[in-house]
A and B are shown apart, each in its own frame.
Chain A
Amino acid sequence: MPRLFFKKQHQVEALIYEYLEYLETSRKHFAEAINACLETGVCEDFDFRTRLTHKFESKADDVREKIKELMYGKALLPESRGDIMGLLEAMDIVPRVFELILQMIKTQKLIIPDLIASDIKELLDVSFENCELMIKQVKTLFGRAKGIRALVSTIDFNESRCDHIERGIITKIFDSDLDPFQKLQLKEMVVNMGEISDQTDRISKRVNIISMKRHV
């Protein structure tokens, strides 16, 4: 398709890939921040990684705004515009959850106790796998759109696994003799961590619907 005629579409396409890059970078810094927190609690490295997570979340936000402007500038068919904007808004929730968790840990001076540390790691590992799969799925949607359904199943399976781990962690927290106030704080943090995989699952289903809609 001649690039000359569809300049705006090509710009949107390039910006979507840029957005996905920032999303992935933000996730990597979030993972580093959590690792720092698990190893040494709130420390300098944690603060540094938190700032980076925020920085890339902001960059992703800026790119999303640019895409929005181009969309309002009549790039793409109206139906595609709606689909892409809806998808970007849904994806934007993920880095916001990253930031929320890090801010909770920082402002509430949360210390993750050893009895749930390995479970938290497992929960986040599976959630990160889902993030990667989600990004892969979105790239597939904007690529040749083959294999989207298989990814939906894997993400859905991972999401169920995360729910199971999340319930286990909350049970452990309330079975422990931690301070009741700390229990509530930790529970809130774990619920937010569980939200990562929940959101990736929602996005994955949305991508699948967009892909199916293109079949006539």
Chain B
Amino acid sequence: MLSLLGGIFLGWSLGANDASNVFGSAVAARMVKFWTAAILASAFVLLGALLEGQAGIETLKGLTPLNLEQAVVSSVAAAVTVTIMTIFSLPVSTSQAVVGAILGIGLLNQNINTPGLGKVVACWMGTPVGGMIISIMIYRVLAFFYNRLNINLFQADNLLRLSLIGAGSYGAYALGANNVANVTAVFVGAGELTLFLAVLLGGLSIDLGILTFSRRVMETVGRRLVRLDPFSALVVLLAEAITVHIYTIIGVPVSTSQAVIGAVLGVGIVKGIRTVEKRTLLNILFGWFLTPTIAALIALSIYFAIQLRYVPTG
């Protein structure tokens, strides 16, 4: 159990941070009470993890063979990377930190599944782009029907509210299905957990983060999205959820934050306004290289550190 602590911490921090991507705007705008959002998010994260979490685990455990010690090191390294980058307010993706840490150990073992890695990296790059394309399509389709609905202001309001809750729940499902691999995949690779136990434990640790520490993140980070009108916020949420779900089916854990940024960019394109600053896009590019590199270096450092033995001389 002790060996799983790094993974559980990673799951906890993932839940605490990424729940804001699905329910942040609704909670920050007081459209949904925090506890309603937290309970819905927890339930759907667990459901997503249990029903569709296996594919991502297969991909990550296939990147390089790990023994239990290496699995623990890579999991702790990813957790440390996420913590350090969060403390320094640097853009961070748990998925990229986990893959970076696994790669660090893979380099040491001189055994990296290059095609598998290529697939993962391609999906990272495709995440914001996918978010953008899907949000443009969703905006156009939904707007076509929404503008033709014969409903009054109050009914439109209620419809948007219910849709935001529905889309948030779907987003939580996609988050659980996609990101559970980040939490426990390395332990499946090391033979420490079965697939079912991995998705269950991963889902529960993400839930722990949502239920214990996501409130402040939802209320502060969520405000960034509140600047969008409710319809655009709904489009962003749906686009993010669909994008992440697509990558879940492909079997690659991706960054929900980057899917959100892509979706916000897409809404901006449709409306002809600038919704995302250049700096945010540069941060994504920066994160693609920086996060895995730092995680790999930390994993290598930890691994070397635990190999050091005191050898008395003379």
Contacts from A to B (Cβ < 8 Å): 1, 5-6, 9-10, 12-13, 74, 76-80, 141-145, 210, 213-216
Residue pair A1, B143 in contact (C-beta under 8 Å): no
> What is the CA–CA distance of A112 and B144 in the complex, to the nearest angstrom?
57
Mostly, the B contact residues are helix
Minimum-distance CB pairs A-B, first 9: A216-B143, A216-B231, A1-B158, A74-B30, A78-B29, A77-B230, A6-B158, A80-B157, A13-B154
- Chain B residues with Cβ below 8 Å from A145 are 152-153
- Chain A residues with Cβ below 8 Å from B139 are 216
> What is the CA–CA distance of A48 and B204 in the complex, to the nearest angstrom?
71
- Chain A residues with Cβ below 8 Å from B231 are 216
Q: Does B277 contact A (CB under 8 A)?
A: no
Residue pair B152, A142 in contact (C-beta under 8 Å): yes
The residue that A76 contacts in the complex, of B152, B157, B226, with Cβ under 8 A, is: B157
Q: B229's closest neighbor in chain A, by CB?
A: A79
B280 → A minimal CB distance (Å): 23
> What is the CA–CA distance of A142 and B231 in the complex, to the nearest angstrom?
18
Tell me whether A214 and B230 are in contact in the complex, defined as CB-CB below 8 angstroms, given that A1-B159, A6-B158, A77-B29 are known contacts: no
- Chain B residues with Cβ below 8 Å from A77 are 29, 31, 157, 160-161, 230
Knowing that A9-B154, A78-B31 are A-B contacts, what are 20 other residue pairs whose CB atoms are under 8 Å apart, sorted by A's residue number?
A1-B158, A1-B162, A5-B158, A6-B154, A6-B161, A9-B158, A10-B154, A74-B31, A76-B154, A77-B29, A78-B29, A79-B229, A80-B153, A144-B152, A145-B152, A210-B153, A214-B153, A215-B147, A216-B142, A216-B232
Tell me whether A142 and B153 are in contact in the complex, defined as CB-CB below 8 angstroms, given that A6-B158, A215-B147, A216-B143 are known contacts: yes
Q: Taking each of B143, B157, B232, which has the highest tally of chain A beta carbons within 10 Å of its own beta carbon?
A: B157
- Chain A residues with Cβ below 8 Å from B146 are 216
> By the criterion of a CB under 8 Å from any partner CB, how many residues of chain B are at the interface?
26
B36 → A minimal CB distance (Å): 12
Supply 26 A–B pairs (Cβ within 8 Å), ascending by A: A1-B155, A1-B158, A1-B162, A9-B154, A9-B157, A10-B154, A13-B154, A74-B31, A76-B154, A77-B29, A77-B31, A77-B157, A77-B161, A78-B29, A78-B30, A78-B31, A79-B229, A141-B153, A142-B152, A143-B152, A144-B152, A145-B153, A213-B229, A214-B153, A215-B147, A216-B231
Q: B139's closest neighbor in chain A, by CB?
A: A216
Contacts from B to A (Cβ < 8 Å): 29-31, 139, 142-143, 146-147, 150-162, 226, 229-232
- Chain B residues with Cβ below 8 Å from A80 are 153, 157
- Chain A residues with Cβ below 8 Å from B31 are 74, 77-78
- Chain B residues with Cβ below 8 Å from A141 are 152-153
The residue that B147 contacts in the complex, of A6, A76, A142, A216, with Cβ under 8 A, is: A216
> What is the CA–CA distance of A103 and B281 in the complex, to the nearest angstrom?
62
B281 → A minimal CB distance (Å): 25
> What is the CA–CA distance of A121 and B82 in the complex, to the nearest angstrom?
74
> What is the CA–CA distance of A143 and B150 in the complex, to the nearest angstrom?
10
B44 → A minimal CB distance (Å): 19
The residue that A144 contacts in the complex, of B150, B159, B162, with Cβ under 8 A, is: B150
Residue pair B29, A142 in contact (C-beta under 8 Å): no
Residue pair A142, B154 in contact (C-beta under 8 Å): yes
- Chain B residues with Cβ below 8 Å from A216 are 139, 142-143, 146-147, 229, 231-232
- Chain B residues with Cβ below 8 Å from A215 are 147
Q: B156's closest neighbor in chain A, by CB?
A: A214
- Chain B residues with Cβ below 8 Å from A12 are 154
B269 → A minimal CB distance (Å): 14
Q: B161's closest neighbor in chain A, by CB?
A: A77
A82 → B minimal CB distance (Å): 11
- Chain A residues with Cβ below 8 Å from B142 are 216
- Chain B residues with Cβ below 8 Å from A6 are 154, 158, 161
Tell me whether A79 and B230 are in contact in the complex, defined as CB-CB below 8 angstroms, given that A1-B159, A216-B143, A216-B147 are known contacts: yes
